[in-house]
Amino acid sequence: MAEPPAPAPAPPSAPPPSTAVVPVAASPAPLTYRDRLAQFKIVEEKRHELIEELLAKLEATEAKLAQTALDLNSEQNVRRTLQSEAAESKAREEALVQNQSRRPFALVLIDADADGFLFQDKYLTKKTQGGEALADELMVRIREYLRPQFEDADQIDIIVRVYSNLEGMANFLVKLDKVRNLGQLRAFSTGFCGRISTFDWVDTGVGKEGGAGRKVRENLAFYTSNTHLRHVLIACSPLDTPPQLLTSLPLSKLTLIETHPLPAAITALPLKVTRLPTIFIPPPPPPQAKGPRSRDPRGPQLQLMQQEDDSGGATWLVIQPDGGMHGRSKSQGGGRRKGDRERDDDNQSLSISIGPDNTVSVDSGRRRRIM
């Protein structure tokens, strides 16, 4: 009988996963004492570096703190200085205000030589009493003008300066039959000064460039910078107070006293203008249009004129034949008709003209050269 086949060998079984072999790392060799000492040195150096870094930062921070403290102290000192200066400045300002409020004053400058600023006859003709009356009236009018502008107007001192050539003014008033001599005008000015202690009349004498007007300008430049000054009233010719001078001054403190109309260049400025009709003589009315010529019984009339003619000359003296010339015409032309004589009288005049070639022409054209 045949033998049965032998069974096939079984395949080898795989080892279970849990039984896998893990390689074991080799344990490091033990460090020697020198190795360990080297490691400690490295750590110590790192620690020293950290300490040095922290110390450097600390020193820098302390330096900044010290500088900040210095800056703070400096700022405190500056602030204290500014506070002290501000307190002192405020104290000085208060003291200045108090000082100004003690003796404030208003100034009145009068050029009595200027055209239009002649005082009223009721003052000029009464010697000392007239000067005293003028001072009283001027004080009243200035107070009235200041009251609407200043609450303490009644406490403001009024200073008045009148400037004039006293001798020349006396000669002018004698010709007008207002005073008899210089002594009467001196008595008038003395009464004006003696009435009120702050009123003065200054005799400027004869000056080359107008002493009174120059005095007014100099006083304006001096007093307008005074802190006690409240206001200035000016009675002066516009020629002596031109716009260039006025604009260099504080216009809010200025008032012009007007008699004649002021020039447009001055009225255009932002300053005050007033009139004192009870103090000064009003200006004469404007000249009217010439009508028919009437004969003047006072005789020949002299007229100072400046009139350009065709040859370039200027007629500067004209004698009108209204009186004696008329009589002379009648005696020399007695045989002529009355109408012809009247027409000749109306047309004749004796004129002296200076031409551009330094020649003189008198009536008929006869010429004489001036050397």
User: Does residue 20 belong to any structural domain of this protein?
Assistant: no
**Residues 90 and 110 both lie in one domain:** no
User: Does residue 15 belong to any structural domain of this protein?
Assistant: no
**Residues 185 and 243 both lie in one domain:** yes
- Rg (the chain; Cα; Å): 55
Enclosing domain of residue 75: 38-101
**Residues 118 and 267 both lie in one domain:** yes
Q: How many domains does the chain have?
A: 3
**Residues 116 and 82 both lie in one domain:** no
User: Does residue 143 belong to any structural domain of this protein?
Assistant: yes
**Residues 267 and 151 both lie in one domain:** yes
Note down pLDDT in tens along the chain; length 371 residues.
Answer: 455 555 555 555 555 555 555 566 667 778 888 888 888 888 888 888 899 999 999 999 999 999 999 999 999 999 999 999 999 998 888 887 777 667 899 999 999 988 889 999 999 999 999 999 999 999 999 999 999 999 988 989 999 999 999 998 999 999 988 999 999 999 999 999 999 999 999 998 876 566 888 899 999 989 988 888 999 999 999 888 899 999 999 999 999 999 988 999 998 999 999 999 999 988 776 666 555 554 444 454 444 444 444 444 444 444 444 444 333 333 333 333 334 444 444 444 445 555 444 445 554 444 443 44
Whole-model pTM?
0.56
**Residues 114 and 95 both lie in one domain:** no
E strand intervals along the chain? 105-111, 157-164, 199-203, 229-235, 254-257, 272-274, 301-308, 314-320, 350-354, 359-362, 366-369
Measured distance CA(228)–CA(102) in Å, rounded:
9
**Residues 95 and 107 both lie in one domain:** no
Angle subtended at Cα 255 by Cα 252 and Cα 260, rounded to the nearest 5 degrees: 145
**What order do you get walking across the sheet with 301-308 strand by strand?**
301-308, 314-320, 350-354, 359-362, 366-369
User: Does residue 285 belong to any structural domain of this protein?
Assistant: no
Of 53, 84, 101, the last residue of a domain is 101
**Residues 180 and 313 both lie in one domain:** no
DSSP letter at 21 equals P
**Residues 122 and 185 both lie in one domain:** yes
